[in-house]
Chains A and B, each alone.
Chain A
Amino acid sequence: MDEGYGIVARGVCRSFGQVQALRGIDLTAPYGEVTALVGPNGAGKTTLMLILATLLRADRGEIRVGGVDPARDPVGVRRQTGWMPDAFGLYDQLKVVEYLDFFAGAYRLDRQRAARRIAETLAATRLSDYADRPVHVLSRGQKQRLALGRALLHEPRVLLLDEPASGLDPHSRIELRDGLRGLAAAGVAVLVSSHILAELEEVADRIVFVSAGQTAGQYEVGDLANAAPRPWRVKATDAAALSLALVDLGVSGTQNDTGTVLPAMNEEAAADLLAALVSAGVRVVAYGPVGGHLESAYLALTGDGR
């Protein structure tokens, strides 16, 4: 039943002394899709990533990465997993090509494959011009690309990325997004944790919300629109007529500079209200949800901001 999933985790627990970091996380990440891991700071995202990357042992729970149990056969997991931690160091004194060559050796690529993969990685990360420059001259975005290229050097089927977008400029983020979509299209199971919700909305197929060490919900991004109600904003040519109509319909809106913010509704309810407003003769010029799907779902599920 786990076939088709790069990552399966059920009831994963882990504590550090008195601190219970994970209290039963459930998560699945299918091959060919980008799964986003979303949650507030301290929710356990990094701990889970470390467990999946075979660096930390889980206290309890069932885990398969690429079909292999990381506690029983960590090497089997490492062979098919690429991992990029949230805070990482590069060997500053090495040249870019030496850095990649070192990890090609660490992943035991034979000479021919190493040469091919290093060339491909340099091209894919657009660092070919920097191949013989020391790593420390690279910009932050270039270092991030190099680290991602390093994680992909051995062509893993499962990719774990912990906050890969932090500190990147918009251009680099778009590039990262396109890169991840490309990997998913090639059949890789990508698990990516992030805070930047608007970004994830565009890149992720599935979203897993975690809060206080537990899974708060797993959704297909397409389903998310109706899963969580969110506030809507409406604007009409005549503000007075709009508020009158809203009172008639029994809806309490709060007026501000950008229009009138309506209480949280799912898409069906919002469409009904719009139809009612229009048939009441209100000349509506703008009508839409406030914030992204993800943001409202995040706030609803993690209990923050309420």
Chain B
Amino acid sequence: MTLHGVRLVLLQEFRMRVRTGRWQWLLGSWTAVVWIVAGLLYVVLADDPYNDDPIGVPLFGGLMLFVLALILIVSPAITAQSINGDRERGTLATLQASLLTPTDIVVGKLLAGWGVGLVALVTTVPIVAWSVVEGVTVLRAVVVLTVVALLIGVVCAVSLGLSSMLPRSITSTLLSYVFVFTLAGGTLIMFGLSSAVLARDNGPTRDDLVWWMLAPNPFVVLADAAPQLPVKRDSAGHVISQPDDPLGELGRGVRDIRRPPGEGCFDCYNDSGDYRDSHPVWPFGLAFNLALGIGALAIARERLRAPADKLPLGTRIA
């Protein structure tokens, strides 16, 4: 891999993307949707007469879960055609025959696609900044944005890998969406069914045996990775109740699932009142997803290596 080669491919891909699609319209409508949802969320939260907690926390949590969902829908389309599409157009082989290495091409294409996803994420930054003003910790904002950014990268990498393996771009696009829906929905279905099977003999719930099925779920990873809110106390030292916190609740939920039945929750809060992070789920999920992404990139690089021993089924190399 060379910096020169990666940069060359990256700039080329970016230039092609900017010139082909109606990206101004796409980015414009993306931003509009995100901001409209944020605005509606704000109105709903601010109008709640029983809630005088800062609204930054629920606003941020709700919005980021929504943004993650939206970005998961968009991301496969970004890179799912970038290798077999080039093959179909007859532009890949001339690159392979040049002094660019397979890694240059794969990394350059990945960064270009990922960059597009990150631009989409950047449009939410003003809302995130505002949430920080309204009570979200900077640490939480940074961690959540980072996790979303990494998950975009994973989806782009897996789609890129699929586009190197499959001859037709329409198939790789379809499978990229199947991958995303498996992560987001398939994990839930698998967990739900497994949990039901385990609960047949009316014994104690043994969800702790199958918690790992939920781990790769992007929403689980995002929520559980979000740092807990700092504990607030009144003047007498009593813990003040936290504001509504979608991310925190989802995170605590999956940690509860992971906890073995014997281990009660009376000790979930330690002496200082912090929720004990004894069973985090997100490191497994994130590591699993990152491993998938890296594996997909390795496959893509292998598929671009020349001289090639084999040809992908049904492709002409030029």
- Which A residues lie at the B interface, using CB under 8 A? 16, 46, 50-51, 53-58, 70-71, 74-75, 78-79, 81, 83, 85-91, 93-94, 98, 102-103, 105-108, 150, 162
Contact = CB atoms under 8 A, between A and B. Distances in A.
B318 A94 contact: no
A56 B307 CA distance: 4
Contacts of A57: 307-309
Given A50-B318, A85-B318, A107-B99, A102 B12 contact: yes
Contacts of A103: 94, 98
B307 A51 contact: yes
B316 interface: yes
Nearest to A47: B317
Q: Which 4 A-B pairs have the closest CB atoms?
A: A89-B90, A85-B318, A106-B98, A57-B307
A71 B307 contact: yes
A105 B4 contact: yes
16 contacts: A16-B311, A50-B318, A55-B97, A56-B306, A56-B311, A56-B317, A57-B308, A83-B94, A83-B97, A86-B318, A87-B318, A88-B91, A93-B20, A103-B94, A105-B4, A106-B98
Given A102-B12, A108-B4, A89 B307 contact: no
Contacts of B317: 50, 55-56
Nearest to A83: B97
B177 to A, nearest CB: 26
Given A50-B317, A55-B317, A56-B307, A106 B91 contact: no
Nearest to B89: A89
B99 A102 contact: no
A91 B98 contact: no
Interface in B70-112: 86, 89-91, 93-100
A93 B95 contact: no
Contacts of B89: 89
Nearest to A108: B99
Contact of A55 (B19, B86, B91, B93): B93
Nearest to A89: B90
A85 B98 contact: no
B16 interface: yes
A56 B16 CA distance: 28
Contact of B316 (A53, A70, A87, A150): A87
Nearest to A105: B8
B90 A55 contact: no
Q: What is the size category of the interface that chain B forms with chain A?
A: 20 to 34
B289 to A, nearest CB: 32
A54 B15 CA distance: 28
Contacts of A53: 97
Contacts of B97: 53-55, 78, 81, 83
Interface in B1-42: 4-5, 8, 12, 15-16, 19-20
- Of the candidates A16, A106, A162, the one having the most CB atoms from chain B within 10 angstroms of its own CB is A106
A88 B306 contact: no
B113 to A, nearest CB: 17
A51 B306 CA distance: 10
Contacts of A56: 306-308, 311, 317
Given A74-B307, A105-B4, A87 B90 contact: yes
A298 B318 CA distance: 27
Interface string B259-281: 00000000000000000000000
A107 B99 CA distance: 5
Nearest to B316: A87
A142 B209 CA distance: 66
A70 B307 CA distance: 8
Contacts of B16: 91, 93-94
Contact of A85 (B20, B86, B93, B311): B93
Contact of A79 (B91, B99, B306, B316): B99
B224 to A, nearest CB: 42
A125 B243 CA distance: 70
Interface string B291-310: 00000000000000011110
A56 B306 CA distance: 6
A106 B95 contact: yes
Contacts of B86: 89
Contact of B91 (A89, A98, A108): A89
- Of the candidates B8, B93, B97, B317, the one having the most CB atoms from chain A within 10 angstroms of its own CB is B97
Given A78-B99, A85-B318, A106 B20 contact: no
A119 B8 CA distance: 20
Nearest to A58: B307
Nearest to B87: A89
B102 to A, nearest CB: 11
Given A54-B306, A55-B308, A56-B317, A94 B15 contact: yes
Interface in B127-144: none
Contact of B307 (A54, A86, A88, A93): A54
Contacts of B20: 93
A54 B307 CA distance: 5
Contacts of A93: 15-16, 19-20
A107 B101 CA distance: 11
Nearest to A84: B94
Given A57-B307, A106-B5, A108-B99, 9 more contacts: A55-B97, A55-B307, A56-B308, A57-B309, A79-B99, A88-B94, A93-B15, A98-B15, A102-B8
A79 B98 CA distance: 8
A102 B5 CA distance: 10
A106 B308 contact: no
- Of the candidates B8, B99, B317, the one having the most CB atoms from chain A within 10 angstroms of its own CB is B99
